[in-house]
Structures are given as C-alpha cells and as structure tokens.
Amino acid sequence: MDHRLDLVSFWGITPGSRVLEIGCGQGDCTIVLADAVGESGHVDAVDPGAPDYGAPYTLSQSQSYITSGPLGHRISFYNAHPTDYLSSLPQSTQKYDYVVLSHCIWYFSSPSQLSTLVSATCSWTKSLCVAEWSLRASKPQSHPHVLTALLLASLEAKRKEEGHGNIRTVLSPAQIRSVTESSSVLRLYAQEFRVSNEGLLDAYWEVSHTLRNREKVLKALGEGGVSEKELAAMAAMYDAVNAAVGIIDGGESGVRSMDVWIAKFQAVE
C-alpha cells in the first residue's frame, strides 16, 4: 500500500478529480486513487482481464470487495478493453483530470498497444500518469528481477498465440517515453526512479515461478521447433537468473523488486 501511496503523491492527484485508471487489475492502486480524489471526485477503473483471473483473489472478488467498502461509491469498475471503453464514451462526457497507467504496460499483448492507447487517451485528458518497472537494479537483490523480466519477454516473443502471464511486453522507460511523446500532444512533465519498497513481492513471485518451470518451458521450446542456438540462449538466460539468485543472502526469499519508474506527462499548450 505504501508503494501506491507514493505513486499517487508523486502524480499530485487532487481532491475533486475525475480519474481514469487503465489496467486496474484487482484494485490495489484504485483504492488509493479513490481516497485521493475525495468525496467530490470519482475513479473509473478499466481492465480487460477475465473476471476469474488472479490469485489468491480474482479480479471479480477483489473488485466486489472494494465496491462494498467505504470508498466503493467513488469507484466504477469496467471489464472492457481500454480503447473500446474510450470509444464508447459520448463526446459530451466530461474529460478526465488524470489517466493512470500503474504497472499495467507489461501486461500488454504487443508494444503497439501502448501507442494505440496513448492516441486514444490524448483527447480525454491533459495529464497521463505512469508507473512501471524500470529495468534498473540499484541493489544486487534486484538483479534477478531484471533478468527474469527480460527472459520472460524473450519467451513471450516466441509464442505464436497470446500469453497470459504477468510479463508479456517489456518496455523500458525510454521506450514508453518515446511512444508517449510521439503523439505530439503529451510531453514529459516530471519523472523519478525509486528503489522499490521492501514489501513488494512481485520479484519473488516472478523469479520463483520462472525458475520452477525451467525444464518444462525448455522442453516445450525444443519440441516446438526452436533452433538449437535459440534453445541454448534461453537456457543460458535461466542460468543467469539462477546465478543472480545464488549470490543473494536467503536465495529466492531475499530477492527484491527492481527500481520503479514514475512519470507524469502533460498536454502541450
């Protein structure tokens, strides 16, 4: 929760604001946004994920719990693709004070999805707020997370069908900024790299799950016709993750999430 509070504080979400959160997932950031906008504000939270996606609680279970809580009346959840949601809004709809993309870009099915989404949001807001993993590790304990993200992105790129993992399209802060500013409507207003809070477990989940499935994934790649050279490269990447974990006190339990990149883009006047 402290991590989300830090994000909202950096973005400067003010009371009375109308916020569109894209890729809200189970609502971790949605609750903090709802608190920030106050009684006179509102958060529209959109996610295309299946209602039964997620563990230990699904999107549907988490969102229902939030809706029934003290901040529920400030939030409207929508199970829809973001661009479809935006295209369905009447032109008379009041524009959003902020559009938020909080740790959702790496879930996108392809890099082009970000460009399409930025183009769709430009006419609906003057402030785009972004938070994503930075691919930067200020501490040795975060190196396995960076390596794992790149490994999973490489594996995803070899898929013929769309995957369902937490990491599907890895874009660096520089790439995200380039895509966003290519709209010629939004320009970077402020950015910051921060060491992740110790309570964030994303790295542990991704690293442990990836290493646990090493042999199964490599076997499937070999049976799927991946070349010997590519297979060797993938195996070496797994070994690099394992080696990075091996030099950390506590092994997998000592792995820490990589640094976070926070940014705010404003409309060009």
Confidence band of 160 (pLDDT split at 50, 70, 90): low
Share of residues in the chain with pLDDT > 70 (%): 98
Please report the pLDDT score of residue 85 as a whole number: 95
- How does residue 236 score in pLDDT terms, banded at 50, 70 and 90? very high
pLDDT at site 162: 67
Q: Is the pLDDT reported for residue 159 higher than 80?
A: no
> Considering the entire predicted model, what is its pTM?
0.94
In this predicted structure, the answer to whether residue 157 has a pLDDT above a threshold of 90 is no
Question: What pLDDT was estimated at residue 165?
Answer: 75
Confidence of residue 127 (pLDDT cuts 50, 70, 90): very high
| DSSP 8-state symbol, 96 | B
Place 146 in a pLDDT band, splitting at 50, 70 and 90: very high
The answer to whether 79 and 47 have CB atoms below 8 angstroms apart is yes
- Indicate left, alpha or beta for 195 from its phi (over 0: left) and psi (-120 to 50: alpha): beta
Chain mean pLDDT for the chain: 93
Whether residue 189 contacts residue 265, with contact meaning beta carbons closer than 8 Å, is answered with: yes
End-to-end Cα spacing for the chain: 34
Query: In the predicted model, is pLDDT for residue 174 greater than 80?
Result: yes
Stretch 131-142: mean pLDDT: 97
127-133/260-267 β-pairing: antiparallel
Q: What is the pLDDT of residue 53?
A: 79
Q: What is the pLDDT of residues 50-89, one digit of tens each?
A: 888 777 778 899 999 999 999 999 999 999 999 999 999 9
